[in-house]
């Protein structure tokens, strides 16, 4: 009797339910970090005030770690999450592509910022959100390294994994490309809304989300979007640090 080979196992698919662990971990992270910061402020107010900038950046990093943990839990059943996302160590081709996109990227940001400033900010200059990183005047390279760890490493990896690697792909399964790009970009823009961020910056974040989603759809590689996103954040962080350190 001839042996029958077992049917190949169906590849696991991303589900809308997979977004739940990300939201739960992130919300819990925010609550726990907020509670820890409040407790520290009450226990030693002098230390808290003296190290406010370091504490704020460390708290932000902790929240991103919770965000990333939620993504890892959500994708664990896929077998090879990094391959699923298209995330790998950068190759020379990835670096060349990122550098080639830098100029059009910043031209687009300049145009959208100018239009948003005219329409939503009375023609006044729109303040960048990188300024919010440094509550006080930064002192020493240590605070810059911590800020870059948050903005140029943790934020790009976590945000790209969620907004492009998960949300965009889920939307793309049910919607035309343009709709998936636009909706995921709008979600990306709204996620950056806060009392400390100018409303006029939201179109800029949405533009960034559109470009990053298009790059991801075009290359199938999250590495390219992480590099572009990280480079943008690094430039903004270093620029603000240099200006405030004068």
Tokens 């145009």 belong to: 111
In a domain, 126, yes or no: yes
Residue 128 has pLDDT above 70, yes or no: no
| Conformation bin of residue 55: beta by default, left when phi > 0, alpha when psi is -120 to 50 | alpha
Residue 2 has pLDDT above 50, yes or no: no
Q: For the chain, what is the mean pLDDT?
A: 89
CA distance linking residue 18 with residue 75, whole number of Å: 7
The larger pLDDT score, comparing residue 132 to residue 146, is at: 146
What domain count does the chain have?
A: 1
In a domain, 170, yes or no: yes
In a domain, 175, yes or no: yes
Over residues 51-70, mean pLDDT: 94
Cβ–Cβ under 8 Å, residues 134 and 244: yes
In a domain, 20, yes or no: no
Residue 11 has pLDDT above 80, yes or no: no
CA distance linking residue 245 with residue 239, whole number of Å: 10
Q: Find the domain containing 205 and state its range.
A: 83-244
| Conformation bin of residue 138: beta by default, left when phi > 0, alpha when psi is -120 to 50 | beta
In a domain, 67, yes or no: no
Over residues 122-144, mean pLDDT: 69
CA distance linking residue 93 with residue 112, whole number of Å: 28
Residue 140 has pLDDT above 80, yes or no: no
What dihedral do alpha carbons 220, 176, 165, 154 form, nearest 10°?
A: 110
In a domain, 214, yes or no: yes
Can you give the pLDDT at residue 6? 44
The predicted-structure confidence for 202-230, as pLDDT tens digits, reads as follows: 999 999 999 999 999 999 999 999 999 99
Can you give the pLDDT at residue 122? 74
In a domain, 28, yes or no: no
In a domain, 160, yes or no: yes
């Amino acid at each position: 009797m001839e042996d029958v080979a077992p049917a190949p196992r169906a590849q696991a698919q991303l589900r809308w339910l997979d977004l739940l662990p990300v939201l739960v971990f992130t919300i819990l992270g925010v609550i726990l970090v907020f509670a820890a910061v409040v407790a520290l402020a009450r226990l030693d107010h002098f230390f808290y005030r003296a190290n406010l900038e370091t504490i704020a950046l460390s708290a932000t990093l902790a929240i991103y770690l919770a965000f990333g943990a939620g993504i890892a839990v959500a994708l664990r059943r896929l077998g090879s999450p990094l391959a699923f996302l298209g995330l790998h160590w950068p190759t020379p081709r990835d670096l060349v592509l990122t550098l080639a996109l830098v100029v059009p990227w910043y031209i687009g940001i300049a145009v959208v910022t100018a239009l948003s400033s005219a329409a939503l900010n009375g023609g006044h200059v729109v303040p960048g959100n990188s300024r919010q990183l440094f509550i006080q005047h930064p002192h020493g390279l240590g605070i810059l390294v911590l800020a870059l760890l948050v903005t140029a490493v943790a934020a790009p990896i976590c945000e790209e994994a969620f907004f492009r690697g998960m949300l965009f792909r889920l939307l793309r399964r049910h919607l035309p490309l343009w709709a998936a790009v636009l909706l995921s970009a709008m979600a990306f823009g709204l996620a950056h809304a806060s009392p400390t961020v100018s409303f006029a910056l939201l179109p800029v974040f949405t533009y960034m989300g559109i470009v990053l989603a298009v790059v991801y759809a075009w290359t199938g590689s999250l590495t390219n979007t992480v590099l572009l996103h990280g480079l943008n954040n690094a430039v903004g962080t270093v620029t603000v640090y240099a200006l405030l350190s004068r």
